[in-house]
Structure 1
């Protein structure tokens, strides 16, 4: 018996009011080279007034940021991913420092953290890169966006031991259950929810989503990865955030429109974008 074909619903048929924000996307890469302008047009049509593009290191930032010159709705994040910890050198940290000094669209250091799922970078280098970028964020007085995969205890203990409880911090691509959510929230941090919240098996994630205070919840795609149902398995893009919003709203017992606008407001406040998008 063959599998039932998934109906790929056009996200623009589920468009929400202007004011949403995709807090985390990677639109500068080759996956979006042929149709980046169309992707950003669909994002606006779906109701997104802002998209956070994450540059994975100062080299990417310096060579690719120009693709967004005509898109003021796109704001920037910059950090060295834990899997690239060996690239966190004194030179790269200085390049990041200079980038934040000269580019007002840079709003956070991230995504940084720990990733023990892949074997791309030794753990000791990951811890070193994490600590150095935490120090840089504190020096620059900018928010943090955390990447953590299969390393929750180590990541949380590092942040807590270094005194980041209460610091403006966003836990990117949250995929845990209620216990992890509570520990993050007890530190005063924000949580960003991606497309996998729509996957049928992720009941614990939907349970956790229902616990997040309304003023500390954000939405994201992590484009081009982790597309929500009904686009699971395809390239993700910001417009598909509308499907994530629908599921999160159902889990919280609110309307998608109210959820969408509240999460957008939270993102603008967190990233200091009130006048920008």
Structure 2
């Protein structure tokens, strides 16, 4: 029983064989997935997936890479979608200092506005953080994100950063990198995260785990993430799967 808490099944990489990809996930023991709609193009396709499959849920938000494109009407659109029964979070939102597509000040403003919306609607948030650990923590604190909490997606920060996020009520989610031979830091952090705050994901089609690194990722590979996490925590795959699925159901309010 596995829960892929972060995937992009609507990505162009899946246009040729999406149904087969979904079926492989089910065969691998993945019982639920959350697809992420993060801009004007992917929010409608994410909603379509969530409405088509009982076991696929949606998170909707505006990605920091696309922050410069967001208009007031887009925030209102996200707010309207949050009343849909299959929408379980606002995200992925956050900061990305790797790709130089949106100025930092624009990213900050868009993030703050979406945290404000999440507080207004009492929705958890899914945080994307790339090379922006200090500013992410600062903004989450200033905008009182602890009132709603959420998920630190594909966590890549230090244990010190993780502790600050845990103190604000966030869950910490890990993906393919914990299977990489030289990925010391995420493994060390995963070993210390309280078991009731641990989540797993693929971020497919990205961040493919070993031994498929370099190829397209897919939700079935969350089993490889679970196996690596189980080994790090000294648990069986079944125990790790059961715990992380329970955590995800509770975090996203899914019955």
Q: Tell me by how many angstroms 1:109 deviates.
A: 0.3
Distance 1:63 1:202 in 2: 33
Corresponding residue for residue 214 of structure 1: 195
Q: Tell me by how many angstroms 1:68 deviates.
A: 4.7
Distance 2:165 2:82 in 1: 27
Equivalent residue pairs, number: 255
Corresponding residue for residue 29 of structure 2: 47
Distance 1:203 1:94 in 2: 41
Q: Tell me by how many angstroms 1:261 deviates.
A: 1.1
Secondary structure at 2:82's aligned position in 1? helix
Deviation string, structure 1 residues 243-276 (Cα, Å, up to 9, x no partner)? 11111111111111100111011111111112xx
Q: Tell me by how many angstroms 1:99 deviates.
A: 1.6
Distance 2:116 2:180 in 1: 36
Change beyond 3 A, Cα 1:58–1:107: farther
Distance 1:193 1:259 in 2: 13
Is 1:82 aligned to 2:64, yes or no? yes
Corresponding residue for residue 159 of structure 2: 178
Secondary structure at 2:145's aligned position in 1? coil
Contact 1:58 1:95 (C-alpha < 8 Å) held by counterparts: no
Q: How does 1:104-115 map to 2 (within 5 A)?
A: 104-115=85-96
Contact 2:93 2:126 (C-alpha < 8 Å) held by counterparts: yes
Q: Tell me by how many angstroms 1:70 deviates.
A: 3.2
Distance 2:47 2:125 in 1: 20
Corresponding residue for residue 70 of structure 1: 52
TM-score when normalising by structure 1: 0.88
Q: What is the aligned-residue RMSD (CA, Å)? A: 1.4
Is 1:56 aligned to 2:38, yes or no? yes
Secondary structure at 1:109's aligned position in 2? strand
Is there any run of 5+ residues in structure 2 with no aligned partner, and where? Answer: none
Corresponding residue for residue 175 of structure 2: 194
Corresponding residue for residue 119 of structure 1: 100
Distance 2:114 2:245 in 1: 27
Deviation string, structure 1 residues 112-155 (Cα, Å, up to 9, x no partner)? 01111110100111011001111111111111100011110001
Distance 1:120 1:207 in 2: 32
Secondary structure at 1:85's aligned position in 2? helix
Deviation string, structure 1 residues 78-106 (Cα, Å, up to 9, x no partner)? 010001111221111111112223x2111
Corresponding residue for residue 23 of structure 1: 5
Is there any run of 5+ residues in structure 1 with no aligned partner, and where? Answer: 1-18
Corresponding residue for residue 272 of structure 1: 253
Select which of 66, 70, 80 maps to 1:98: 80
Q: Tell me by how many angstroms 1:179 deviates.
A: 2.2
When Rg is computed on C-alpha atoms for both structures, the one with the higher figure is 1
